[in-house]
Amino acid sequence: MNSFETLTIDLRQMIFAIEAAVSQVGMNDTNHGKRVGYIASQLAHHLDWDEADIQFAFELGLLHDSGVSTEQMHSALVNHFDWRDAYIHCEIGYRLLKDFEPLARFAGPIRYHHTPWEKLRELDISQRDKQMANLIFLSDRIDVLAVSHYENDILLARQEVMQSILRYRGSYFDPELVAAFQLAEQSEAFWIALEDRHVTRYVWDMGQYGNREKLSIAQIKQLSLIMAYIVDQKSPFTARHSVRVAGLARYLADKHGLPGEQCDKIEIAGLLHDLGKLHMPDQILEKPGPLTPLERSIMNKHSFETFQILRHIQGLNEIADWAAFHHEELNGAGYPFHRRAQELSIEARIIAVADVFQALVQDRPYRAGMQMDEVLIILEEYSQSGKLDPEISALARQHAEACFRIALGQNRPEGGKSLRPA
């Protein structure tokens, strides 16, 4: 790539990546966003909306739970038809997207997608936002009511789902939208398509409606910050981890003499490196003691999950590798791919050192954050044993005080801007 001033990115692929990341929180059910997008698009079709609005409804369904990071929150949303704290994730999703211009149009409907129709219609927002928000609320609740029946008896349970929705017609849901659902649900195909193997194929097919945009480096960073914020909110013990790894990785890349555009890419990879942790159970991330072999095996999946989320985004291929390789080791003993030294680029090596440095500095449930001298001893041990790149580890030791401050979030990387979403 000759220039990193702009990247030609398929915006729909980025939306798919956000959905894939957020849906990981569902643990045993990672297709909720896809199903809501499918349901919303089908109801929009029965409402005779134009193709642009159908596509908008589909993408809105994919993005609607952008404010969900924890397993606990996801569980409450799917186990209660009207959870009193549902507004929290709506507000978080709204704040994350409202200032990111390529996705800002989704922010308003996301903010109100758990607001009952009888309250929503009185709000001073556009009619379109009201309709889109309520469409997602309806689609979301249809899926929550039906999810236990997919792959089993959904064609028998569909009337029970319909009757439950009808009880909330006019109060929670716009009667016009409910009427569209009544038309859509008459088709067996509507329900069968919600099964995992079919809905994933539907989303794949919808990827053909690409939206290629030239995003500036600032926009790519901002989107990466949004995704980093989502994963860092998974646990108080991971809060700000991705942002600080990104800042430290950029600092090390700059001190290593890499050009500015390469430093930008490393920073983005640092922001995205832990997306796969959204699929980790909360109790593992917050366990106040050593992990069992089974728990460790689950934890060791997260970097592969990161790779799976990012690898389909054309234009971010290198960044996907660097982000996913942050637990690889030069001696080949790392995970999940067991890459050896000759397969690990300088960018991946920098992110690995930054990740270890920041993780050691940060408080974790099983130990307090380490002091600088302790961190430097471990870096030296890891470099001598072939876990980390000796040259990058030596660079971190050479600039230890600056690295320590960045890892603690006490200052910004040189030449960098604040890494914090609006």
Residues marked active site are found at: 277
- What would the DSSP string read from start to end of 170-227? TTTB-HHHHHHHHHHTTSHHHHHTTSHHHHHHHHHHHTTS--EEEEEHHHHHHHHHHH
Which region, left, alpha or beta, applies to residue 179 given φ > 0 means left and ψ of -120 to 50 means alpha? alpha
Q: How far is the C-alpha of 3 from the C-alpha of 240, rounded, in Å? A: 29
3-state secondary structure of 394: helix
Say which residue the tokens 């593992």 belong to: 284
Q: What's the rounded Cα separation, in Å, for the pair 65 and 278?
A: 13
Whole-number Å distance between alpha carbons of 175 and 290: 53
Can you tell me the distance from the alpha carbon of 198 to that of 205, in angstroms, rounded to the nearest whole number?
11
In the chain, the largest separation of any two C-alpha atoms, in whole Å, equals 68
Report residue 135 as tokens: 């469409």
Q: With contact defined as beta carbons under 8 Å apart, do 368 and 374 qualify?
A: no
Nearest in space to 142 (alpha carbons), one of 89, 181, 90? 181
Asked whether the beta carbons of 108 and 131 are under 8 A apart, the reply is no
Give dist(CA 147, CA 158) in Å, integer. Answer: 11
- The alpha carbon torsion through 207, 318, 234, 244 (nearest 10 deg) reads -140
β-pair type (6-10, 212-216): antiparallel
Instruction: Label residue 408 exposed, middle or buried (CB < 10 Å: 0-12, 13-18, 19+).
Output: middle
Number of CB atoms found within 10 A of residue 347's CB:
24
